[in-house]
Copies of this chain bind each other. A is one copy, B any other.
Amino acid sequence: MPHIPVSQVQHSKRSLRELLRPVTLVHASRLSRQLGASVVIASETFQHTGSFKFRAACNVVLRAPNRRILAASSGNFGQALAYACLLLNKSCVVVMPDNSAQVKIAAVREYGGNVDVIDIRTKSRKGRVEELARKDPDVYVASAYDDPLVIEGNATLGQELAALDQSFDFIIAPVGGGGLTAGLIQGLRAAGNTTLVMGVEPLLANDAARSLAAGRIIVNDTEPQTIADGVRTLSLGEHNWRVLREGLAGIVEVTEEQIKVSIRLLFSLANLKAEPTGALSVAALLARPELFRDRSVCCVVSGGNVDPEVFRSLLEG
């Protein structure tokens, strides 16, 4: 990975903000009544490419001196990277397993990205990325969640929330690799804002909660099969861990059923289409009502990319 001097990182800060859409705030009065807390939704479902991942991807593409970017992603980061490259006149290859949803492969291609489809029974994503990187020494290998540029990109969301007129008792956001919460903490603290940041993860993928308890990164043996496909990571990223171990107020663990109920609550009471990972922050209020009762809570809905068919079955319950 090429070294990027801090001065250069600082220098182009304004350009990144210009390329992003500001977060969409929804003051959810019916949801608040239902959940017994004052809830403001900070939705990234209308961010470019439909998730917060564009913040990080765009920062990576902007800052990496390379013209070509390489990454493995079966989800939102791939789309975000492809669109960021399109905007910034660079090119990318996204390694995707052959069992990825066709709509996701199609979306990366629609944004102009090159898709490298692999049979994961014969080759790992990591192995394939390394293979491609050896063939092209000038390519920048981007991680979706373990890169200081990722934290810095996501920090723009913390800066936006810090700049609001309103203050919160808690900001809640999903934890997979930890890039979003690390970015939130970094962005808020840089702006002098001390609001507590609470992570949330599925009980089925609770490696971050176990890591915090153990004081070191705990790695899942296999990819956790939660419906929240955005947090099916094996472990926290090293860079994120250094921010989260001190900076996170805690982690709430939620059941699959609580995630599904939250998708339906967001849809019915706030007119919001959230993907399962995006609904995690609301699920935290269902899982730990005593923590949040009568408090002022900002729930980050991290993304909205979900297939219509999957969404239909989620609405059915």
Contacts and interface: CB of A to CB of B under 8 A. Distances in A.
A304 B266 CA distance: 12
A288 interface: no
Contact of A315 (B26, B107, B311): B311
A45 B315 contact: no
A160 to B, nearest CB: 15
Given A30-B110, A46-B271, A272-B273, A316 B305 contact: no
Nearest to A268: B308
A126 interface: no
Given A27-B21, A48-B29, A312-B315, A271 B273 contact: yes
Copies in the complex: 2
B308 A267 contact: yes
A271 B45 contact: yes
A308 B123 CA distance: 41
Contacts of A267: 273, 308, 311
A81 to B, nearest CB: 15
A75 interface: no
A311 B271 CA distance: 11
A312 to B, nearest CB: 5
A46 B30 contact: no
Contacts of A45: 271
A271 B308 contact: no
A226 to B, nearest CB: 21
